[in-house]
Amino acid sequence: MTDGLKISFSTHALYQIQERKISREEVAHAIRHPVRITHQLSYRTRIVAPFPKNPKQVMIVIYEIQPRGIVVVTAFRTSKIKKYL
């Protein structure tokens, strides 16, 4: 579903991933390799993916699919794995 789509980041997402020390590549990898996909609202998607730097955490990415591709709204990592899986 997301293969081949360009990934861009909102200003908010860029600020948040910088603050949270998450790279754009890690976010892109999470989008391409989710373990769970949940649709929020009619236009937003939340994915959960393993966080490669720490197996006790998962990464959560919220994004929108727009005509120009995927726009990341925010991303964060958490150790509350059961809550999101």
CATH classification at residue 20 = 3.10.450
2 assigned to some structural domain: no
Q: Of 1, 81, 84, which Cα lies nearest the Cα of 38?
A: 84
Number of domains in the chain: 1
Tokens of 51: 């966080």
1 assigned to some structural domain: no
pLDDT along the chain (85 residues), means of 10: 83 97 94 90 86 87 92 94 83
Q: Residue 56 is part of which domain span?
A: 7-84
So what's the pLDDT on residue 2? 64
80 assigned to some structural domain: yes
**Model confidence, pTM:** 0.88
